[in-house]
Chain A
Amino acid sequence: MVIITAWADGKITAKNNIRDCAKLASEACKEANISLQEIDVVIYSGVYRPNFRSEPSCASHIQSKLDIRCHDLELSSEHCFSFDIIDGSRGVHRSIQTVSHLIEQLEVKNALIVCADVKPSKQSKWPYQNHALAMVLSGNDAGLKFVSSEYKGGKLSAYTKSSFDTKKKVSVITYFGDSSNVEETKAEREFTSDSSSLGSVQMRDFLLWSKNKKGNLKHTIVDRAGSISVTNWKV
C-alpha cells in the first residue's frame, strides 16, 4: 500500500521549469519530514515539455537539480532511479500505480512524483497555465492511501502532436479532433476531474477535495482521447 505523505503545487515557468519543479519537490519533502537523500525513485508524468524535449527524462533533470545521490557507482553505493511515465492526463495515476509496485516489490521506501506541463514553445496555442504538482509517497505512514486503479481505453478521437510552423519557423502544438469534455463532479465519495485541466491540476483538485474526508474515495480522470483512469483511495 502506498500513501501520499505530502504534496505541493504551483505555477511554474517554461524557462525555469526544472528549478520550479525542484522547489516544489523540496517543499513536499520538507512537509513529509524526509530529507531529499531519502528519495529512492523520481517519476515525472508531464506531457508538455520545454522545446518538446525527448531526452533525457525530465525526472533525471529534477533529480540532478535536487542533487539526490548524484555520485558514481561503487560496489555498495546507494542510488536513486528516475524515469518518466507518459499517459496524457492519466499519467499521474499511472505513476502512483507504478510507485505502489515499486514499494511492494523493490526496496523503495520513498518516491517523488512530479507532474508538470509547460507551454513547449512561445508560439504554441496554450489554453492552460504552466503548472506542477510534486507528491511524496511512501509505504508506511498514515494519510491518503492508494488502494487500486482501473484503466479503460479511448478511441483516439482527439490527440495532440508537435508540428512545424513554416511561417514562424518553430515547432508548435497542433490539436486534432474534439477532446472529451467531462466537467468536474463531486459526490460524497467520488471526485471526477475537469478533463479540460492539465493532469497536475486534476490531481491537485482531488487532493484538495479529499482533505478532511474519511473512508473509501474514488478519483476519475478522463483524458483528451476519452481514456479513463479510476483510482480508489482510503483515508
Chain B
Amino acid sequence: MVGDSLYSQVLSFAGFLPKEVVYTKDIAPLGSLPRKIDFERLTGIKSHREVGDGQDSVELAYEASIKALKRGNLEPEDIDLVIRCSVSKLDSERNQILEPSFASFLVERLGAINADHFDVSNACSGMITALKVADMYIKTGMAKHVLVTSGEYISPVIYEAQKVSFWLNPNAVPSLSVGDGGGAYLLGVSSDPKMLRFGEPQTLAQYDSYCVADAAIGAPGPRMRTRGKALHKAAIKQLIPSFQRVLKLLELDWLEIDHIITHQTSVKVIERGNDIAVDAFGQCKCYHICVDETGNTASTTHAVALEKGLEENHFNAGEDVLLHSYGSGLSIFIAHFIIPQGVESW
C-alpha cells in the first residue's frame, strides 16, 4: 500500500477499571447537598472505581494498553507511536506530570523502545482527538502501529469538592460524578477507508468556561468546577445537529448503526439524549451505558463502555460503533469504526 491508499483501522481496544468500588451514597449521602438533592437519583450513578495504593494515571493507562496490545497480538516494541490523551496526569501523590510528555513515562513503563510519543489534550474529547491525530500519522505513512491511551486518575476532585460548602460552591457538585479508569486503542494500517472514520471536529468555544480544572487551593491535587446545568443544556442543544452532520458526512443510516456510545456523564443525561435522538431518527439498535457503575471517567469513558460491552458479549467482528464525545471547551468530535476480527476471543 502506498501513497493515498493508506488508511487506519482499530486493531484492538481496551478499558481498565481499578478494583476499589466506591458508592455514591457514601460520597454524597442524602442531606449532604443543597435543596435535598439526591445525587444518585439525579445522575443515576450508583458507584465508581478508585485507584489503589501506588496506582496513578500512568498505571491506569498501562493496564489498558497492555490489554489492548495483547488483544492486537502486538508487543510493546512493535509500536511506532504512543499518544497519551488524559485530562489528569497525576502520579500517586497527586502531583501533575508536566514535562516531558506524559506519554514518555508510559513508553518507559511499557518498554516500547521503538515508540515516538507525545500528548494530546482536549478534555473529555481527548481520546477521539488523539485517535484522529493517530489516524493522520498512519495515513501519511509516518507510523504503522499507534497506541492511543489514557489513564484518568481524577477521583481527587471528588474529595476536594467535599471539603467546600456546596451551598456556596454549587459548581463543585458535578465533581462528585467522576471515577478513575484507563482506556487504550491500538491502530494499524488498512486498505479499507471505512474501518475508522471521523466526523468534523468542532469546538464551540463560547462555552469554554463551563468546566474548568486547576490546582486545588490550599491542598494537593486538582479541583474541578462545572456549571453543570448550563453545560448539559449546551451539550443537548448540539446533539441532533452533531449526529445529523456525521450521518451525512459518513453516509450512515442511524437505524443501521450497531452500537452508539456517547460520552458517559450521567445515566439521566444519556437517557434524555437517547429520547431526543429517538424523536429525530428512531430507536437505534443499541446504545451503551456504563456510567452507573463507573462514574464519568473523562477521556476514557468510551473505552470503558466498550470494555463493559465486551464483558457482556455485545460485540461481533464487522459490527460498527459510533463514538460521540463531548469535552469541556466545548469540544464535539465523533468517530466511527468497525469492530476487528477476533473480538469474540478477547
Interface residues of A (CB under 8 A from B): 42, 47-48, 50-57, 59-61, 63-64, 68, 70-75, 77, 79-91, 94, 98, 101-102, 104-105, 120-121, 151, 153-154, 156, 159-164, 169-171, 173-174, 223-225, 227
Contact with A along B171-212 (1 / 0, CB 8 A): 000000000000000000000000000001111111011011
Whether the pair A94, B118 counts as a contact (CB closer than 8 A) is yes
Interface check B242, CB cutoff 8 A: yes
Whether the pair B100, A223 counts as a contact (CB closer than 8 A) is yes
The distance in angstroms between the C-alpha atoms of A83 and B331, with both chains bound, is: 9
Whether the pair B99, A160 counts as a contact (CB closer than 8 A) is yes
Choose from B120, B139, B214 the contact partner of A83 (Cβ within 8 Å): B120
For chain B, the count of residues having a C-beta within 8 Å of the partner chain is 71
25 contacts between A and B (CB under 8 A): A48-B98, A55-B212, A55-B329, A57-B329, A60-B328, A63-B208, A74-B241, A75-B244, A79-B203, A80-B203, A83-B125, A84-B121, A85-B120, A86-B102, A86-B121, A104-B140, A105-B140, A153-B107, A154-B104, A159-B105, A162-B95, A164-B220, A171-B96, A224-B100, A225-B104
Q: Which residues does chain A contribute within 8 Å of B94, judged by CB atoms?
A: 164
Interface residues of B in 212-230 (CB under 8 A from A): 212-216, 218-222, 224
The distance in angstroms between the C-alpha atoms of A89 and B212, with both chains bound, is: 25
Q: Is the interface of B mostly helix, strand, loop or mixed?
A: mixed
Interface residues of B (CB under 8 A from A): 87-89, 91, 93-102, 104-105, 107-108, 115-126, 129, 133, 136-137, 139-140, 200-206, 208-209, 211-216, 218-222, 224, 234, 237-238, 241-242, 244-245, 327-333
Whether the pair B200, A79 counts as a contact (CB closer than 8 A) is yes
Whether the pair B241, A79 counts as a contact (CB closer than 8 A) is no
Whether the pair A61, B208 counts as a contact (CB closer than 8 A) is yes
Across the interface, name the chain A residue whose C-beta is closest to B137.
A101
Q: Which residues does chain A contribute within 8 Å of B124, judged by CB atoms?
A: 55
Whether the pair A75, B241 counts as a contact (CB closer than 8 A) is yes
The distance in angstroms between the C-alpha atoms of A54 and B87, with both chains bound, is: 6
The distance in angstroms between the C-alpha atoms of A7 and B196, with both chains bound, is: 35
The distance in angstroms between the C-alpha atoms of A163 and B333, with both chains bound, is: 33
Whether the pair B204, A72 counts as a contact (CB closer than 8 A) is yes
Whether the pair A225, B100 counts as a contact (CB closer than 8 A) is yes
Min Cβ gap B158→A in Å is 15
Choose from A82, A151, A171 the contact partner of B331 (Cβ within 8 Å): A82
The distance in angstroms between the C-alpha atoms of A54 and B89, with both chains bound, is: 8
Whether the pair A153, B214 counts as a contact (CB closer than 8 A) is no
Q: Which residues does chain B contribute within 8 Å of A171, judged by CB atoms?
A: 96, 215-216, 220
Choose from B208, B242, B245 the contact partner of A64 (Cβ within 8 Å): B208
The distance in angstroms between the C-alpha atoms of A130 and B121, with both chains bound, is: 21
Whether the pair A79, B118 counts as a contact (CB closer than 8 A) is no
The distance in angstroms between the C-alpha atoms of A98 and B124, with both chains bound, is: 20
Q: Which residues does chain A contribute within 8 Å of B330, judged by CB atoms?
A: 56, 60
Across the interface, name the chain B residue whose C-beta is closest to A84.
B121
Across the interface, name the chain B residue whose C-beta is closest to A148.
B142
Min Cβ gap A180→B in Å is 10
Min Cβ gap A149→B in Å is 9
Across the interface, name the chain A residue whose C-beta is closest to B241.
A73
Whether the pair B237, A60 counts as a contact (CB closer than 8 A) is no
Whether the pair A54, B245 counts as a contact (CB closer than 8 A) is no
Min Cβ gap A91→B in Å is 7
The 7 closest A-B pairs by CB, nearest first: A164-B220, A60-B329, A101-B136, A64-B205, A87-B118, A63-B205, A56-B329
Known A-B contacts A75-B245, A79-B202, A104-B140; A57 and B121 likewise in contact (beta carbons under 8 Å): yes
Whether the pair A83, B129 counts as a contact (CB closer than 8 A) is yes
Choose from A53, A85, A156 the contact partner of B119 (Cβ within 8 Å): A85
Whether the pair B136, A90 counts as a contact (CB closer than 8 A) is no
